């Protein structure tokens, strides 16, 4: 019986640091001994292959299109890249990448024929079941495109828990509130839950931290009321990460960094969600 959980990180718009968060969360859990899979379902603007500096020969696009099979069935094993050994992880971390090729992205955007889309969704669900049953995955993380797009909705719909990644700007707050009302509330009827993760917020410098302390709790309470769910993590913006040429997996490469400590606290909050 499947006991693993599927988590999707989503945002109203780009630039929220979603990919950095999901990569670090997945790596942290794998470092802690869990069996984790991270799939890049941002099919319209994939970035995980660049983040991990991988150039695979087979992509999730091929799986969705029906080109990745074994004995007539969808076989995700041909897409997965195991990075556990090279990262020195106690557990397992499998990655699946979307194609960054322009022609593949264009194909996903233009292929709206219903029969193809339904077949792609069935192959996606088959691959998801294979991960839990054959690989014993504890946590499946799905990165997805910001906003409301066809494959964003599909990815959200197959998840147990959804995380809204947002900054504390007026645009993010209003856009996220609308998404929660229009999309997320309907998904809860099918058993999904959703929570807020604040990212890149002011407060990494002592000056900001002191000046924001008095109003932070009030702001979070108002935000939770506006969105309709609770905040389970809040991570400040760290300039050395944001402007790093390749800010790769701070959570396991630089565990003493303040970002890493905040991320560990977030990871434990997520684990406690059950």
Of residues 180, 132, 131, the one with CA closest to residue 10: 180
Asked whether residue 198 carries a pLDDT value surpassing 70, the answer given is: yes
Report whether 17 contacts 24 (CB < 8 A).
no
Q: What percent of the chain has pLDDT over 70?
A: 93
Q: Say if 237 falls within a structural domain.
A: yes
Q: Pick the range with the lowest mean pLDDT from 55-59, 108-112, 188-192.
A: 108-112
Asked whether residue 85 carries a pLDDT value surpassing 50, the answer given is: yes
| Range(s) of the domain holding residue 60 | 5-269
Q: What percent of the chain has pLDDT over 90?
A: 64
Of residues 143, 182, 135, the one with CA closest to residue 162: 143
Asked whether residue 1 carries a pLDDT value surpassing 50, the answer given is: no
Q: What's the average model confidence in pLDDT over 1-21?
A: 88
User: What pLDDT is attached to residue 148?
Assistant: 87
User: What pLDDT is attached to residue 48?
Assistant: 95
Map tokens 């997805």 to a residue. 144
Asked whether residue 222 carries a pLDDT value surpassing 80, the answer given is: yes
Q: What's the average model confidence in pLDDT over 55-61?
A: 95
User: What pLDDT is attached to residue 268?
Assistant: 96
Q: What's the average model confidence in pLDDT over 200-229?
A: 70
User: What pLDDT is attached to residue 203?
Assistant: 61
Q: Say if 160 falls within a structural domain.
A: yes
User: What pLDDT is attached to residue 215?
Assistant: 63
| Dihedral sign (CA 18, 19, 20, 26) | positive
Could you give the CA distance from residue 61 to residue 108 in angstroms, rounded to a whole number? 8
Buried b (16+ CB within 10 A) or exposed e, 242-251: eeeeebbbbb
Number of domains in the chain: 1
**C-alpha pair distances (Å), 59 with each of 14, 48, 64, 65, 66:** 23, 12, 9, 10, 11
Q: What's the average model confidence in pLDDT over 215-222?
A: 80
| Residue 177: exposure state from Cβ atoms within 10 A (0-12, 13-18, ≥19) | middle
Q: Say if 274 falls within a structural domain.
A: no
Question: CA dihedral in degrees (105, 109, 113, 117; nearest 10)?
Answer: 70
Asked whether residue 205 carries a pLDDT value surpassing 60, the answer given is: no
Q: What's the average model confidence in pLDDT over 230-256?
A: 88
User: What pLDDT is attached to residue 74?
Assistant: 94
Q: Say if 40 falls within a structural domain.
A: yes
User: What pLDDT is attached to residue 2?
Assistant: 56
Which DSSP string do the residues of the chain spell out, in sequence order?
Answer: ----EEEEEE-SSS-S-HHHHHHHHHHHHHHTT-EEEEEEE-TTS--HHHHTT---SS-HHHHHTT--EETTEE-GGGT-EE-HHHHT-SSEEEEE-----HHHHHHHHH---HHHHHHHHHHHHHHHHHHHHHS--SEEEEEE-SSS-HHHHHHHHT-SEEEEEE-SSHHHHHHHHHHIIIIIHHHGGGT-EEEEEEEEES-SSHHHHHHHHHHHHHHHHHHHHHHTS-EEEEEE--HHHHT-TT---HHHH-TTSHHHHHHHHHHHHHHTT-
User: What pLDDT is attached to residue 106?
Assistant: 85
CATH number of the domain where residue 62 is located: 3.40.50.300
Q: pLDDT for 93-136, tens place per residue?
A: 999 999 999 898 888 877 667 888 889 999 999 999 999 999 99
Q: Say if 138 falls within a structural domain.
A: yes
Q: How many CB atoms lie within 10 A of CB 46?
A: 25
């Amino acid at each position: 019986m499947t006991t693993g959980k599927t988590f999707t990180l989503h945002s109203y718009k780009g630039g929220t640091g979603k990919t950095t968060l999901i990569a670090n969360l997945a790596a942290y859990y794998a470092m802690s001994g869990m069996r984790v899979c991270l799939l890049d379902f941002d099919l319209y603007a994939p970035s995980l292959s660049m983040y991990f500096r991988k150039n695979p020969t087979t992509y999730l696009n091929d799986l969705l299109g029906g080109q990745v099979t074994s004995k007539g069935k969808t076989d995700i094993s041909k897409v997965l890249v195991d990075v556990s050994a090279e990262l020195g992880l106690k557990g397992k971390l499998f990655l699946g990448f979307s194609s960054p090729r322009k022609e593949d992205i264009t194909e996903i955007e233009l292929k709206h024929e219903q029969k193809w889309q339904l077949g792609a969704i069935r192959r996606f669900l088959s691959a998801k079941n294979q991960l839990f049953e054959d690989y014993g995955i504890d946590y499946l993380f799905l990165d997805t495109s910001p906003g409301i797009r066809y494959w964003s909705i599909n990815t959200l719909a197959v998840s147990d828990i959804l995380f809204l990644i947002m900054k504390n700007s007026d645009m993010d707050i209003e856009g996220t509130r609308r998404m929660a009302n229009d999309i997320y509330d309907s998904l809860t009827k099918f058993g999904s839950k959703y929570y807020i993760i604040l990212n890149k917020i002011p407060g990494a410098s002592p000056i900001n931290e002191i000046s924001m302390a008095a109003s932070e709790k009030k702001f979070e309470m108002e935000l939770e009321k506006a969105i309709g769910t609770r905040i389970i993590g809040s991570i400040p913006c760290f300039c050395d990460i944001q402007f790093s040429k390749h800010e790769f997996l701070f959570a396991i490469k630089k565990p003493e960094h303040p970002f890493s400590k905040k991320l560990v606290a977030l990871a434990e909050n997520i684990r406690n969600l059950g």
